[in-house]
Structure 1
Amino acid sequence: MASRAFFTRLALLAALLPLTEACSKTPKNKAEAMKEVKEKMRKDTNPVAVIETTLGTITVELYRHAAPKTVENFVSLAKGEREFTDTDGKPAKRPYYDGLVFHRVIPNFMIQGGDIKGNGTGGPGYQFADEINAKALGLDKMKVSASPMAMQEVGQVARTEVFKKLNIQSQQDLTAKQKEAEALFKSEQAKWGEKSLEELYTARGITYTPGLESESNTKGSLSMANAGPNTNGSQFFISVADNIYLDGKHTVFGRVIGGLDIAEAITKVERDQQDRPKKTVVMKKVTILEN
């Protein structure tokens, strides 16, 4: 049976209409809206983020069971409880996400935000590790050869191994050892076909955490954007399609339980060649609701 605190939180959600798809469809009463929220939440101990944008509201359940440290980072920034480095280089502490834009939007893919600079290069002034359990996602059983995108990454791993084995440190070294390097490169690539995605991504530098109830990058998931292994900060993206090829590389720390249509609408705004909306889409306010 759900706790009294859970029903109290549902009442708060209903009071902040429109927060859910049920609300956006004009439910007959608040009880109907609360029922819709309850049915969509995975665990009633999880917090909820209400992201009010200039195009509507997106409500997200934050998955403490999947990525507790990542959720805590998001929550503390949203509440203004965690210090970050402001655009002037000075320390600041305020609700971080309020007023930030979605700086990158791509139809049938995702919307990305959380950059204090608004251009994709900014963050809070610190980085933290990924929270992913490869085995929970089945990456230990998925073969590299079954993923065309993974095979592209094999080339990078193989190239690094070739340079290491042949002690190639310059273009001159590469030119001098070109034939040997090409043969070794093919040999290194061939080794990876039957290995697992977990092994490949570990070779790329990702460290996995056993025991986490990791979630997949499917439609509606809230995930950390990064610049490589363990470079998480404040940027995140919401998938509007199944992007499971990102599993193992991007921490999923929540899922949309209301307003996915708003996220999809944001992907359809007119954008430039860098996928930046020509008409600014702002996160007016991010509210965290907890037990």
Structure 2
Amino acid sequence: MDAKTAEYCYFDVDINNFRKKLGTAAAFVDATNSRYGLSSKNLLSLGGSEIARLEEMISGDHEWSSKNTEVGGIETRPPTSGQRIVVKLHWTVAPIACENFATLCNNGSDKQKIPIGDCGKPLTYRGSPIHRVEKNFICQGGDFVKGNGSGGECIFGKRSFKDERPGLLKKHDRRGILAMGNSGKNSNTSQFYFTFAAAPQCDGKHVIFGELVSGMEVLDAIEEHGTSSGEPDVPMQVTDCGIYRPFEDPGAGYWYDQPDFEKYSGVSPQFIVRPRVVCLAPNKGALEKFKSAVGTACQVVESVELKEEDMADQVSLIHALMESFSVDVMLIAPACKNIKESIRLPTIWQAQGIDVAHVALIAKPIDAQDAIHQHSWISKQSKWQLDGSL
């Protein structure tokens, strides 16, 4: 692992067993659609009125009501916040911490056998909990040994590794900073944390080795379940993780387990993609219309109220978001179409054969989803299932 092969990583966080609850609803629809006269065997294809009836149906069904109780109630709609977080690793600052984190994210993603550590546990973040959530401070995870913050193991054949001074010198000055959890000097293992706000009390004590570049809404959802004791009020688990490859891996979305009885597991896991969008419009009213139009089928990363006097700074912001792979497409109101002439795709985007016409989409709010599903570069990704496209 190095900066060339693992500059970015992703991991998907399931909050309060949402994936299992949504999967239970999907299994119910698949098994009983004929009995209840539903329009499809696929939960994601049902209409709003049908979805509104599902909870009542399953509660009154003798066979399925017990399964509903087992999972703590079903979820009939996708998660509003999505589940994927993407981070950029600072290899020049803390290469040891970066290699450790990237390897623990990647182990198991290639279907190869996951190595077992000295503690007897697989060396991977998959299946590990987010065990600590304190509002306005941090959320912490990575303890795949004990799951409660008292365990952890690094990849280097020993329990811990030393602090890296450049990482200690960096500041916890904003939301989304990624740093190593520890129990004192030179005690880094596998535990990590994200800041919810500036945390100067951690400066000089913990090695900062990265930052969140996508998935701030997931961080928001995690923070909602923080407590004064630090123990989250609902379970949270890393269900998937790996090296994030821009243009190959989706940057936002959620997991959906479609019943498939030809599979050994009985389900066919699908990652439903939510395009990450920047909306550009002449006023706040138009921006709100864009947000309403895309709903939860897209993740609105930034809303820009275009002003002539701020145009240069606003274009710079858009370019920075593209450079860090924090955004996929732009929705531009027709009244602001001239800004398209100022948008230049980063070299790495151009190298993928992507044209600005497939990134900067001029559309009215009512046509926003169709523009993304029909004209964006994301719509050409044959392996990606876009949210709202069924």
Normalised by the size of structure 1, how large is the TM-score?
0.52
Displacement of 1:217 after TM fit? 5.1
CA contact (8 A) 1:218 1:239 kept: yes
Percent of aligned positions that are identical = 32
* 1:76 corresponds to which of 78, 85, 103: 103
Specify the alignment match of 2:182 in structure 1: 226
CA contact (8 A) 2:128 2:143 kept: yes
Q: Which runs of 5+ in 1 are unaligned?
A: 1-42, 138-213
For 2:131 and 2:212, how far apart are their aligned partners in 1?
Answer: 19
Q: Within 5 A, what are the aligned runs for 1:136-155?
A: 137=169
For 1:93 and 1:257, how far apart are their aligned partners in 2?
Answer: 28
Counterpart of 1:230, as a letter, is: N
Specify the alignment match of 1:132 in structure 2: 165
Counterpart of 2:117, as a letter, is: F
Displacement of 1:241 after TM fit? 0.2
For 2:12 and 2:198, how far apart are their aligned partners in 1?
Answer: 24
Displacement of 1:244 after TM fit? 2.3
CA contact (8 A) 2:142 2:191 kept: yes
Q: Within 5 A, what are the aligned runs for 1:85-104?
A: 85-86=118-119, 90=120, 92-94=121-123, 96-104=124-132
Specify the alignment match of 1:245 in structure 2: 201
CA contact (8 A) 1:240 1:260 kept: no
CA contact (8 A) 2:135 2:226 kept: no
Give the paired residue count: 166
Q: Which runs of 5+ in 2 are unaligned?
A: 16-82, 108-113, 247-390
- Where 1:84 maps in the other structure, the secondary structure is coil
Specify the alignment match of 1:54 in structure 2: 14
For 1:258 and 1:279, how far apart are their aligned partners in 2?
Answer: 23
- Cα-Cα RMSD: 2.6
For 1:247 and 1:274, how far apart are their aligned partners in 2?
Answer: 22
Displacement of 1:285 after TM fit? 0.9
* 1:277 corresponds to which of 202, 225, 232: 232
Displacement of 1:83 after TM fit? 4.7
User: What per-residue deviation string (whole Å, max 9, x for no partner) do you get for residues 143-171 of structure 1?
Assistant: xxxxxxxxxxxxxxxxxxxxxxxxxxxxx
For 2:174 and 2:94, how far apart are their aligned partners in 1?
Answer: 16
Specify the alignment match of 1:105 in structure 2: 133
Q: Which deviates the most, 115-124 or 232-241?
A: 115-124
Displacement of 1:78 after TM fit? 2.1
For 1:275 and 1:45, how far apart are their aligned partners in 2?
Answer: 35
Counterpart of 2:239, as a letter, is: K
- Where 1:230 maps in the other structure, the secondary structure is coil
